[in-house]
């Protein structure tokens, strides 16, 4: 078995995601980066040259004028990833799709198509949509409550995975001489009737070289963690500190083990924002300058997001933190409950609370290449992370990470120099899931064999 290796994903954030309201002003970033396919292809090739495991595209489908620049005007993830699939050869392609406002059949079909187009490099970041306003773009008055939202998610993923097994791997002999295109005994309907979905199947697509796309998940609530432990193969999380990340890591691995899963086959990957410079002091100065340039009114607007983009300008900034818990109930319930707890315990005003939340989002990965590499190694060896998703905007900053930090990690035997495989599962060291019908047939065959042996 291969030594445990670091995994890296790259989140492509075009003109700037949450907390990056000024990124689009950088001279290296074209103003249309988030909708410019040429720009994405260049970034994808840069990430592939660095031997990252995958590209990651986040998504949401509800905006306000206060949304981060990248969110205001960006490409739909699977359309984008399909274009990147033909411009790359090894890097994985992970897209975010919500289970709250999609049908499993359509999602199964789109992802299976991406998986075939890319030769087995597709991944799905399963989310339930943090923005409740999305519901009103999909014929609903309001977002689902958490129980329904995550109940749908679990059933959705299981239907999608069932559909992906519609054909066994030997279903298409394509034997022109014998005139056999496909073997009808190897095609299987799903006949699913559940709480949220009814899907007959079969899906009209065969499996790819990696069997099925890799399932990623990001969600911190009790319900989100249960979903992650049940179906996640890669788990995204926020990295506030080594201690927090280690507690999350242990919790998720224990939950997965309790469900009978192999914890080593579940990769925990916190987000990674890096500030690199020649010295630690210089890096700290740069990070402080970036923080200082942030406009409080923009911080206040973004603070409203987990409250369903609630407008906080209506409150007195210097009065005690307002009673807004209800707005978080169907949006970011976990994070808003945590904010409420801190604000009450420390008797914070609204202004202090916004600044506190902004401080907790500051990255611990600031310093020289040696310092950052050592910190990454500490998290990896200390079982706070199996890998990281790096936020990518400015090309020269990514190049610096690739040219200065990765060689140190390679020297320490922690990260690859060449791809091991041309599928995402192959590179992540994840197994190809057996087709359930092939497995059942094999088990039935074994049972028949042993009963005929014991009868003879």
Q: Could you tell me the two tokens for 55?
A: 């590209």
Do residues 12 and 392 touch, judged by C-beta distance below 8 A? Answer: yes
Nearer to ligand FMN, 188 or 310 (CB): 310
Whose structure tokens read 């009114």? 297
CB of 240 to ligand FMN, least distance (A): 11
CB of 224 to ligand FMN, least distance (A): 3
CB of 337 to ligand FMN, least distance (A): 9
A 10 A CB-CB count for 205 gives 18
Nearer to ligand FMN, 211 or 271 (CB): 271
Q: Could you tell me the two tokens for 114?
A: 């991406």
Nearer to ligand FMN, 230 or 237 (CB): 237
Nearer to ligand FMN, 36 or 221 (CB): 221
CB of 228 to ligand FMN, least distance (A): 9
Q: Residue numbers of the site for ligand FMN (CB under 6 A)?
A: 58-60, 96, 127-130, 218-221, 224, 236-238, 271, 332-334
Nearer to ligand FMN, 96 or 118 (CB): 96
CB of 289 to ligand FMN, least distance (A): 25
Nearer to ligand FMN, 59 or 233 (CB): 59
CB of 95 to ligand FMN, least distance (A): 9
Nearer to ligand FMN, 10 or 205 (CB): 10
Residues whose CB falls within 8 Å of the CB of residue 330, separated by 6 or more in sequence, listed in order = 132, 142, 143, 144, 145, 146, 149, 308
Nearest residue to the partner ligand FMN, using Cβ: 224
CB of 149 to ligand FMN, least distance (A): 8
- Nearest CA-CA partner of 310 in 326, 323, 297, 327: 327
Cα–Cα dist 95/216, whole Å: 9
Nearer to ligand FMN, 78 or 218 (CB): 218
CB of 124 to ligand FMN, least distance (A): 11
């Amino acid at each position: 078995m291969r030594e445990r290796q670091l995994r890296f994903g790259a989140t492509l954030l075009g003109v700037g995601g949450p907390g990056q309201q000024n990124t689009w002003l950088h001279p290296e970033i074209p103003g249309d980066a988030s909708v410019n396919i040429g720009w994405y292809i260049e970034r994808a090739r840069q990430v592939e040259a660095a031997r990252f495991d995958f590209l990651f595209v986040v998504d949401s489908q509800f905006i306000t004028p206060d949304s981060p620049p990248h969110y205001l005007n960006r490409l739909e993830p699977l359309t984008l990833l399909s274009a990147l699939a033909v411009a790359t050869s090894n890097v994985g392609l992970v897209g975010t799709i919500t289970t709250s406002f999609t049908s499993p059949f359509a999602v199964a079909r789109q992802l299976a198509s991406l998986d075939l187009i890319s030769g087995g490099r597709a991944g799905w970041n399963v989310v339930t949509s943090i923005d409740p306003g999305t519901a009103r773009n999909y014929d609903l008055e309001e977002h689902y409550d958490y129980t329904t939202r995550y109940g749908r998610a679990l059933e959705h993923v299981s239907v999608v995975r069932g559909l992906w097994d519609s054909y066994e791997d030997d279903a298409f002999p394509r034997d022109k001489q014998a005139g056999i295109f496909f073997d009808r005994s190897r095609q299987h309907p799903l006949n699913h009737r559940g709480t949220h979905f009814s899907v007959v199947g079969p899906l009209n697509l065969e499996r790819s070289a990696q069997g099925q796309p890799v399932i990623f998940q990001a969600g911190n609530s009790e319900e989100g963690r249960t979903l992650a432990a049940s179906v996640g193969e890669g788990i995204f999380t926020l990295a506030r500190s080594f201690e927090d990340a280690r507690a999350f890591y242990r919790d998720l691995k224990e939950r997965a083990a309790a469900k009978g899963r192999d914890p080593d086959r579940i990769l925990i990957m916190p987000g990674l924002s890096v500030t690199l410079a020649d010295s630690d002091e210089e890096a700290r100065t740069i990070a402080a300058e970036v923080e200082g340039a942030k406009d409080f009114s923009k911080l206040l607007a973004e603070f409203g997001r987990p409250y369903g983009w609630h407008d906080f300008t209506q409150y007195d900034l210097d009065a005690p933190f307002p009673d807004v818990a209800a707005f978080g109930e169907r949006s970011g319930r976990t994070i808003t409950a945590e904010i409420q707890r801190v604000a009450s315990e420390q008797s914070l005003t609204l202004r202090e609370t916004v600044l506190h939340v902004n401080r907790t989002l500051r990255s611990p990965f600031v310093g020289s290449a040696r310092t950052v590499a050592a910190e990454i190694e500490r998290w990896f060896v200390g079982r706070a992370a199996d890998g990281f998703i790096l936020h990518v905007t400015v090309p020269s900053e990514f190049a610096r990470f690739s040219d200065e930090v990765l060689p140190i990690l390679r020297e320490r035997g922690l990260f690859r120099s060449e791809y091991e495989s041309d599928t995402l599962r192959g590179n992540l060291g994840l197994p190809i899931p057996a087709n359930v019908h092939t497995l059942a047939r094999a088990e039935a065959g074994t049972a028949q064999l042993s009963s005929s042996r014991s009868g003879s």
